[in-house]
Structure 1
Amino acid sequence: MRRAAVAIVAAAATTVLATACGPGDAETGAATAATAAPTSAAGASAGSSAPAPGSTSSPAAKGSPAAPSTGPSKGASTGASAGAAPACAAGDLKADAHQAKERPDGTGIGAAIIGFANTSGHACTLKGFPTVAGAGNGGPGHNMPLTVTHTGSEAAVKLAPGGKAWVKLTFVQVQGEADGYCVSGATPVAFPSLVLGLPEAGSHQVGLDEGLFAECDNKVTTTAVLAVSPS
Structure 2
Amino acid sequence: MQYTASVRRTASALVVVATAAALMTGCTPSGEAGAAGEPSQSVQSPTPGTAAGGSGSGGTGQAKPSTPVSPAASGGKAKPCTIDDVKVTEARQAAVRPPGTGTGAAIVAVTNVSKSACTLQGFPTVAGAGNGSPGKNVPLATTHSGSAATVSLAPAARAWTKLTFVNVQGEADGYCESGATPASFPTLVVGVPGAGAHQTALDDGVLALCDNKATVTAYSATKPS
TM-score over 0.5 (shorter chain): yes
> Which residue does 2:214 correspond to in 1?
220
8 Å CA contact retained: 1:138, 1:193: no
Pair 1:121-2:124 in alignment:
no
CA distance in structure 1 between the partners assigned to 2:164 and 2:207 by the alignment: 11
2:130 to 111, 136, 141: 136
CA distance in structure 1 between the partners assigned to 2:122 and 2:74 by the alignment: 24
> Which residue does 2:62 correspond to in 1?
none
> Which residue does 1:59 correspond to in 2?
none
> Which residue does 2:204 correspond to in 1?
210
Pair 1:92-2:60 in alignment:
no
8 Å CA contact retained: 1:135, 1:141: no
8 Å CA contact retained: 1:140, 1:195: no
CA distance in structure 1 between the partners assigned to 2:74 and 2:174 by the alignment: 53
1:169 to 163, 167, 180: 163
**How far off is 1:90 after superposition?**
1.1
CA distance in structure 1 between the partners assigned to 2:117 and 2:134 by the alignment: 28
**How far off is 1:78 after superposition?**
7.1
CA distance in structure 1 between the partners assigned to 2:132 and 2:215 by the alignment: 22
CA distance in structure 1 between the partners assigned to 2:82 and 2:72 by the alignment: 24
> Which residue does 1:45 correspond to in 2?
none
Instruction: Report the residue type matching 1:152 in the other structure.
Output: G
With the length of structure 2 as denominator, give the TM-score of the two structures. 0.66
**For 1:30-179, what aligned pairs fall within 5 Å after superposition?**
79=73, 81-83=75-77, 85-95=78-88, 96-179=90-173
Computed over aligned residues only, the root mean square deviation of the Cα atoms, in angstroms, reads 2.0
**How far off is 1:92 after superposition?**
1.4
Q: How many equivalent residue pairs?
A: 158
Pair 1:186-2:180 in alignment:
yes
Shift in alpha-carbon separation, 1:78–1:122, aligned structure 2, 3 A: closer
**How far off is 1:112 after superposition?**
0.1
With the length of structure 1 as denominator, give the TM-score of the two structures. 0.64
CA distance in structure 2 between the partners assigned to 1:145 and 1:80 by the alignment: 43
Identity within the alignment, %: 59
- Counterpart of 1:81 in 2: which secondary structure? coil
> Which residue does 1:3 correspond to in 2?
none
CA distance in structure 2 between the partners assigned to 1:178 and 1:121 by the alignment: 47
Please say which structure displays the higher CA radius of gyration. Answer: 1
Shift in alpha-carbon separation, 1:107–1:90, aligned structure 2, 3 A: same
> Counting helix residues as a fraction of each chain, which structure ranks higher?
1
